[in-house]
Amino acid sequence: MIKSVGFDLDNTLCDQTVHILSFLRDAAKWLSCETGFSDARIYHVFKDILIRRTPAYKHLFDDALDALNIPKGRYVNELIDKYHCHRGGIELYPGTRQILECLYKTKQLFLITDGHSGMQRMKVEQLAISQYFAVQIFTGGFDKSWTKPSVLAYESAASKIGVKTADCIFVGDNPCRDFDGAHRIGMKTIRVLTGPYAKLSSIELNLADYTIETLSELNNTLQLITR
């Protein structure tokens, strides 16, 4: 019996790309004032690298400044700091709040998200979803051994809720990160085909037990699993 349902945050509950593009627009305007380069040109370069490399790419700012022939100097670190504080352009996928409200009535819910812990906490606050989760784990607040696909966050969530890992199911979007750790401790997994990883398919990837097109299919899938 599934007693607890866990969720990834970015590209599972909300569109991370919308959030990043919102920041890149602001960053392009700021960098334009700093350097005299056209903000439209800067944004175009930012966006092109983001789309080609996906949000997981760690060197977007380095590559963009190199492409624009802007000396990186202090700009990369300042852009990263500004990104971690950015509050605009984030919203739940359609129907997500209703799904969380429905599940909240019958299951213990938990959230596991990688990334800068302050930024991820701010996203949860902006989305106004904290009340649905019995446990929230921001792996960026720990050392790197907690980052998915490590088992540590999954084990901690189940322990804090007080359920067996075999009675949990985890929902995520990224087959490279979201499912292996959960599988290793006996959790079932559901992959939702949203975000930049939706088209990833390879026998080398750690694929989920179940796959759904959008979160709107989640309740029906859970009912099938528990029959």
**DSSP letters for the chain:** ---EEEE--BTTTB-HHHHHHHHHHHHHHHHHHHH---HHHHHHHHHHHHHHH-TT-S-HHHHHHHHTT---TTHHHHHHHHHHT---S--BPTTHHHHHHHHHTTSEEEEEE-S-HHHHHHHHHHHT-GGG-SEEEEGGGS-GGGSTT-SHHHHHHHHHHT--GGGEEEEES-TTTSSHHHHHTT-EEEEE--STTTT---TTS---SEEESSGGGHHHHHHHHT-
3-state secondary structure 11-58: CCCECHHHHHHHHHHHHHHHHHHHHCCCHHHHHHHHHHHHHHHCCCCC
Q: What pLDDT is recorded for position 205?
A: 65
What are the structure tokens assigned to 131, written together? 């009340």
Q: What pLDDT is recorded for position 38?
A: 95
Q: What pLDDT is recorded for position 227?
A: 61
Q: Are 181 and 149 in contact (CB under 8 A)?
A: yes
Q: Report the chain (227 residues): mean pLDDT per 10 consecutive residues.
A: 95 95 97 95 97 91 95 91 91 96 96 97 97 98 96 98 97 94 96 90 72 94 82
Four-residue CA torsion sign, 182, 200, 28, 126: negative
What are the structure tokens assigned to 20, written together? 């990043």
Q: What pLDDT is recorded for position 224?
A: 85
- How many CB atoms sit inside 10 A of residue 220's CB? 10
Q: What pLDDT is recorded for position 137?
A: 98
In tens, the pLDDT along 16-66 reads: 999 999 999 999 999 999 999 999 999 999 999 999 998 889 999 999 999
Q: Are 4 and 109 in contact (CB under 8 A)?
A: yes
